Structure formats: structure tokens, C-alpha cells
Amino acid sequence: MKKTKKKRRKILFVVELLILLILAVGVFAFTRIMRMEHVNLGEILTNEGAASQSGYQNIVLYGVDSREGNLTQDAHSDTIIICSINKSTKEIKMVSVYRDTYLDNTNGEYRKATECYFFGGPERSINMLNKNLDLDIQDYVTVNFQALVEAIDLVGGIDIELTDEEVYWLNGYLVETSQVVGVSDYQEVTGSGLQHLNGLQAVAYCRIRYTDGYDFKRTERQRTVLTKVFEKAQSQGITTLLSMVDTMLPSISTSLSTTELISLASGIGGYTLGETAGFPFDQYATQVDGSDVVVPVNLANNVTQLHAFLFGEENYQPSQTVQDISSQIINYTGIQ
């Protein structure tokens, strides 16, 4: 009888210890995440007639070219990646919107997609994506070069297959990238093939534009790097993940609540990465008013393909808003 009581006390002690440990980790994560720049977005609009996406959580990831540390204003969104999370299967699909895509910037002006963030921050950019693509995006995460460098270094770097051409341009971008993130000492990549890249080298790799494929290939590189980081983060312990959060805080801005961030971070092991793609699927590179742009051919058809890719909606019929924008793009560019 006495042995049974002692055994129960030991079990209770272990359970209490585990609960305290979980609470301690939760409090630590909460206090760290509270230091992140949280932004309450204004009115986020969706198109009337657009299909419901209630089974998905759509978040847009922005990578900004900010030399002064600005994350939500006066910064071009060099990276625009729509991350769609299937709430049932936990599968994440990523679609890069090419920065030079010619779209309605929410006010009837047709310009490059990247300019929307510069003039109106994440709120206007999200409304632009929702309006042109029939999406229901309600949240965003913005990072700068510094955040990505730190994240990659904290997971121990990543392995990337490089061509000779990519090595040449990567080393060229290392100079400016090191200046932007405040690193005085950097190491050039010396060979092609499978190479282990540190954070600075990987970010320089993400920035390469002047190879075959130009910006289209650049966005593919960005998705490759994010996939590699995600896979390595899944295999890390809670200590490393919390260190990542703590280190990257000053370089992140988001509309996600503290509760949502903790939920996403704690459940990272349950998510899987699905296919990735670039938008528009069918496009034509040209000049409009002296500016290099990527024209969707045509927008309505591309939106149909986008919804099939992200949500499995075959033969999706775009809203009247998207059809009207599609017609205007054809009128302005003559490309259909």
C-alpha cells in the first residue's frame, strides 16, 4: 500500500514538472514574440462573387529591400509569396507573384505589383492581391535580408546545387548583401555543384536575377531556399526554434496575433510543403510606358489556374472584378 502511494506521488511530481516546463516554454515564447512588430491592418477587402476559401489560411510573405530597416513603408516588396495552408491536411503551397506583374494597384492605376507595398504598405498590397486574384488573404509576414540571414545560420546553413553562372552572380551579390546586413567579413563560394551555404551566401543566391530565366528563376530560387529552411527547422529542437524567434524579432513585421504565431510555430512538425509555382503561369515580358513589366496572358485565365493549383477548384470562374481588370490589361497592353 505504501509503495503504491509513493509511486502515485512520483507520477504526480513528474506530471507537475512537465506542466511547469510547458508553461515556462510558453511564457518564454510569449514574451519573445510580444517584442515583434505587430501591425493591425485596416480594412481588408475581398471580391464579391469570389469563391469561399474557409478551409484555408492564406498568408502573404513579403521580403523587402529595406536599407534603413523600414518594414512597412517606403520599401519595395522584392519577394511576394502567397502561402496557402490547408487547414485539414496541414499542407502548405507557395506561389510567388512576380514583382513586375502588371496589375490594378487597387485604385484603377495599373503598375508593377511590387510598387503597391512601397506606396501603401502591406494593407494596400494585400488588397491588391485579393482584388486581382480573387483571394482571401487576411494576414502577412514581412522580413528583410537580416532576418533571412539569421534564420538560415540558426538552422546550420543549407545545401544548394549551383551552376557556374550562379556562383559568379552569387559572389557578386555578396558584396552589397554584406553591407546591407552589416557584415564586414564574408566568404565567397569557390565552386559549382552541391554547396553548403551560410545565411549570407544563401540570401545572395536568392537575389540573383541575371541568369537564364531572369526574375522567374529568381523567385524559384527563393522558394527553394524557403523550402530548405522549413525542412531543417522541422528537425530542430524547441531551443533552436526559440532562438530563431528571439534573434529575428527586430527584422520581422506581421499582422498575426501572438496566439496564432505560437500555434504555427509549435505545430511546425505537423505541416508538409506541397508544390510551389510562380504567378502568372502564362505571361509576356514587355514594356509599358517605358517600364519593364510582366503581363498576365490573360489575367482571368491565370486566376482560374491559380485557384486550381491552390484550392483544387477545377474550372474556377473568376469574379466580374477580375474579368474587368483582365479586359483593361488587354486594352492597355494589346496583349491577350
d(CA 58, CA 44): 13
What is the arithmetic mean of pLDDT over 101-121? 93
Cβ contact 181:200 at 8 Å: yes
Residue with the bigger pLDDT between 96 and 77: it is 96
Q: For residue 173, count other CB atoms closer than 10 A to its CB.
A: 19
Helix, strand or coil, per DSSP, at residue 299 = helix
pLDDT reported for residue 22: 41
Q: Is the pLDDT of residue 112 over 60?
A: yes
pLDDT reported for residue 200: 96
**H-state helical runs in 69-213:** 113-133, 145-154, 164-181, 199-206
Angle in degrees, CA 230, 158, 70, rounded to 5: 65
pLDDT band for 185, please (50, 70, 90 cuts): confident
pLDDT band for 37, please (50, 70, 90 cuts): low
Specify the pairing of strand 76-86 against strand 158-162.
unpaired
pLDDT reported for residue 110: 96
d(CA 220, CA 123): 25
- Beta-carbon contacts of residue 159 (< 8 Å; ≥ 6 apart): 194, 195, 196, 197, 228
- Beta-carbon contacts of residue 137 (< 8 Å; ≥ 6 apart): 44, 58, 59, 60, 82, 126, 129, 130
What is the arithmetic mean of pLDDT over 154-158? 92
Question: Across all residues in the chain, what is the average pLDDT?
Answer: 85
Helix, strand or coil, per DSSP, at residue 168 = helix
Residue 155, CA distances (Å) to 24, 97, 307 in order? 23, 27, 33
Q: Is the pLDDT of residue 25 over 60?
A: no
All three cell numbers of 76: 519595395
What is the arithmetic mean of pLDDT over 120-132? 94
What is the arithmetic mean of pLDDT over 112-128? 92
pLDDT reported for residue 27: 41
pLDDT reported for residue 19: 45
